[in-house]
């Protein structure tokens, strides 16, 4: 079928909305009419080829929409179901078999290799040239074919799918880093470096978990103010003070946990330095080289530096929990979102750069 999609043709090039061909769903797959898609920093990372998804490609990996067709073998979904879409996993490797899809051994191949789990793409140009997919969904489009494993049914009929969309990656990554991986003790302390979607989600999750001191570290005064409204007990402007010294002063020595959402090596180092003895620093962003003195900065204080993918989330279980928290008023992530028309995708990305919005979400209709 012919659909409209935002195609990335070359490194760093603007998105171009074009007519492309989408194949029918195969065994275990569903066809989803995309209603909305979040724009995530990872899309930009791929657009600029820091993660080299083969080009041309249709990016987008925070989709939500309505099921239009189900392939053979699909029993969980039917036409008309409202779904959110998340990362892809193979379902067959040892990690998937242990209910750890977030560390699927084929994760990079099927999320960043341009193909579905069966090794092929469902997208092509009108002339028949293959177009790469991303995260097995490519939600910067009017329709997507996805594996039923990565779709999550939305039970709340009154829930705006425009809000559901960004849960699929950024929101579950931040919230899951806290609730699934760190599982902080009640009354513990945590610092979150970066006040974007992932950081704000971590802050809201830390409030749910009952952390005593929740310290937001960032450089945008408006974002820091919002962080306080969403659950931060303290804020630190990294442009005005030494953030490590400030966090240690607030906590009388350092936090029990820190999360770096920036993907900047030096910020990771500072996040680790904010931790007290026996502290844990989580890295959730795509980060390049980092040099540390292991004895002085890690081992000597018995600290841990760990990477967390997609918030250690089992999406079919965790995403409904986050939606439920939102519906109960405990997780107001809607305050992060600004909506844009699909045709304005490049403007949405630019406004994200300029700090005019925290989470840009595209509406396809």
How does pLDDT run across 273-315, given as a tens digit for each residue? Answer: 999 999 999 999 888 899 999 999 999 999 999 999 999 999 9
Residues 266 and 342 in one domain: no
In a domain, 247, yes or no: yes
In a domain, 257, yes or no: yes
In a domain, 37, yes or no: yes
Confidence label for 355 from pLDDT (cuts 50, 70 and 90):
confident
pLDDT, position 288: 85
Residues 71-129: tens digit of each pLDDT = 999 999 999 999 999 999 999 999 999 999 999 999 999 999 999 988 999 999 999 99
pLDDT, position 309: 96
Q: How many domains does the chain contain in total?
A: 2
In a domain, 324, yes or no: no
Cβ pair 208, 330 in contact under 8 A: yes
Residues 20 and 147 in one domain: yes
Strand partners, 234: 215
Residues 139 and 246 in one domain: no
Residues 85 and 101 in one domain: yes
Residues 248 and 136 in one domain: no
Give the contacts of 208 (CB within 8 A, at least 6 positions apart).
179, 325, 330, 331
Torsion angle defined by CA atoms of residues 342, 346, 352 and 354, in that order, rounded to the nearest 10 degrees: -140
In a domain, 344, yes or no: yes
Query: 260-294 burial by CB neighbour count: b if 16+ within 10 A, else e?
Result: bbbbbbebbbbbbbbbbeebbbbbbbeeeeeeeee
As a whole number, mean pLDDT of residues 18-26 equals 97
Q: How far apart are CA 122 and CA 138, in angstroms?
A: 10
Q: What percent of the chain has pLDDT over 90?
A: 94
Residues 186 and 150 in one domain: no
Residues 210-260: tens digit of each pLDDT = 999 999 999 999 999 999 999 999 999 999 999 999 999 999 999 999 999
Confidence label for 353 from pLDDT (cuts 50, 70 and 90):
confident
**Cα 259–Cα 226–Cα 344 angle in degrees, nearest 5:** 95
Residues 149 and 200 in one domain: no
Residues 145 and 13 in one domain: yes
CA distances from 24 to 12, 28, 143, 145, 280 (A): 30, 12, 11, 7, 45
* pLDDT for 365 beyond 90: no
Residues 116 and 35 in one domain: yes
In a domain, 347, yes or no: yes
Q: Which of 82-96, 148-162, 192-206, 286-300 has the lowest mean pLDDT?
A: 286-300
Q: How far apart are CA 198 and CA 196, in angstroms?
A: 6
Residues 227 and 293 in one domain: yes
User: At which residue do the structure tokens 């026996």 appear?
Assistant: 278
pLDDT, position 6: 98
Q: How far apart are CA 62 and CA 170, in angstroms?
A: 8
Cβ pair 58, 131 in contact under 8 A: yes
Residues 147 and 116 in one domain: yes
Q: What is the mean pLDDT of the chain?
A: 96
In a domain, 267, yes or no: yes
The two tokens of residue 233 are: 């007990």
Residues 17 and 153 in one domain: yes
User: At which residue do the structure tokens 């309505």 appear?
Assistant: 66
At what angle are helices 265-273 and 243-251 packed, to 10 degrees?
A: 20
Q: How far apart are CA 310 and CA 282, in angstroms?
A: 12
pLDDT, position 200: 98
Can you give the residue range of the structural domain that contains 280? 174-309
In a domain, 317, yes or no: no
Q: What is the CATH number of the domain that holds 289?
A: 3.40.50.720
Q: What is the CATH number of the domain that holds 19?
A: 3.90.180.10
């Amino acid at each position: 079928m012919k659909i409209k999609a935002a195609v990335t043709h070359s490194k760093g090039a603007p998105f171009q909305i074009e007519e492309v061909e989408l194949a029918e769903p195969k065994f275990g797959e569903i066809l989803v009419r995309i209603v909305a898609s979040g724009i995530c920093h990872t899309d930009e990372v791929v657009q600029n080829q820091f993660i080299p998804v083969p080009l041309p490609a249709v990016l987008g990996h925070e989709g939500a929409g309505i099921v239009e067709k189900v392939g053979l073998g699909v029993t969980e979904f039917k036409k008309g179901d409202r779904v959110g879409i998340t990362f892809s996993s193979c379902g067959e490797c040892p990690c998937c078999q242990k209910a750890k899809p977030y560390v699927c051994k084929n994760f990079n191949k099927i999320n960043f290799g341009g193909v579905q789990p069966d090794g092929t793409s469902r997208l092509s140009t009108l002339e028949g040239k293959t177009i790469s997919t991303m995260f097995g969904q490519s939600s910067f489009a009017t329709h997507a074919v996805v594996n039923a494993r990565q779709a999550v049914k939305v039970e709340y009929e009154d829930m705006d799918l425009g809000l559901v969309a960004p849960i699929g990656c950024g929101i579950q990554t931040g919230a899951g880093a806290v609730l699934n991986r760190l599982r902080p003790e009640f009354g513990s302390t945590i610092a979150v470096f970066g006040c974007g979607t992932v950081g704000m989600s971590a802050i809201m999750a830390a409030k749910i978990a009952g952390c005593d001191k929740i310290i937001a570290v960032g450089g945008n005064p408006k974002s820091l103010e919002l962080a306080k409204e969403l659950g931060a007990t303290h804020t630190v402007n990294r442009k005005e003070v030494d953030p490590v010294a400030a966090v240690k002063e607030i906590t009388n020595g350092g936090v029990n946990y820190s999360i770096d959402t920036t993907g900047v090596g030096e910020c990771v180092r500072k996040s680790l330095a904010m931790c007290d003895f026996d502290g844990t620093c989580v890295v959730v962003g795509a980060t390049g080289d980092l040099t540390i003195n292991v004895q002085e900065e890690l081992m000597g204080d018995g600290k841990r530096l760990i990477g967390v993918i997609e918030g250690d989330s089992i999406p079919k279980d965790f995403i409904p929990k986050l939606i439920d928290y939102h519906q109960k008023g405990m997780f107001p992530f809607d305050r992060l979102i600004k909506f844009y028309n699909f045709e304005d995708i490049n403007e949405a990305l630019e406004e994200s750069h300029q700090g005019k919005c925290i989470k840009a979400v595209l509406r396809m209709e």
